[in-house]
A and B are shown apart, each in its own frame.
Chain A
Amino acid sequence: MSITLDQVTKRYQSLPVVNDVSLEIGEGELLVLLGPSGSGKSTLLRAIAGLVEIDHGQVYLHGREVTAVAARDRGVGFVFQHYALFRHMSVADNVEFALRVRRMKRADRLARRDELLKLVALEDMDERMPAQLSGGQQQRVAVARALAHRPDVLLLDEPFGALDAKIREELRRTIRRIQRELGISTILVTHDQDEAFAMADRIGVMHQGRLLEAGVPDDLYARPRTRFAATFLGAANLVLGYRLGNELHFDRPGDETVTAREIVAVIRPEEVELTAGGTTSGLTRVGSGVVEELQFAGATERLRVRMSLETGPIPATPDREGADGSTWLLDASRSFPEQRDSPFAVGQRVTVSARRIHSLPTPISSFTALARDAVGAAALAGSPFLTTLAARMQTRITVRSTRTASAPPGMPVLAAGPGAGATALWNLTHGTSQVLVLPAGAELPSRIIVLPGAEADVEFLGVAASLLRHIPAESVLLAIHDGATPERERASCLRILLDARARAQIEHQLDLRTELRFGDLDRELARELDVNPKSMLVLGLDTLNEAETARFASLLELPPLRPVLLVRSPAGAD
Chain B
Amino acid sequence: MIQSETLLARMQALTREEPCDGGSPLPTLSEEHLSALSRETGQGMRELQVLALRHGITPARYLRNFRELTSGDQERLLSSRAGLAGLGGLGGHLLESLVRMGVGTIMVADGDRFEESNLNRQLLSERDTLGMAKTEAARRRAAAVNPAVEIQAMSLTLDRQGLRTFFRGADVLFDGLGGVAVKKLLLECARDLGIPVISAAAAGWSCIVTTVLPGQSAPPDLFGSAGGAELSLGCLAPAIAVAAAVQCSEGVRLLCGRKPALAGKLLAVDLSRGSFEVFEL
A and B associate in one complex: no
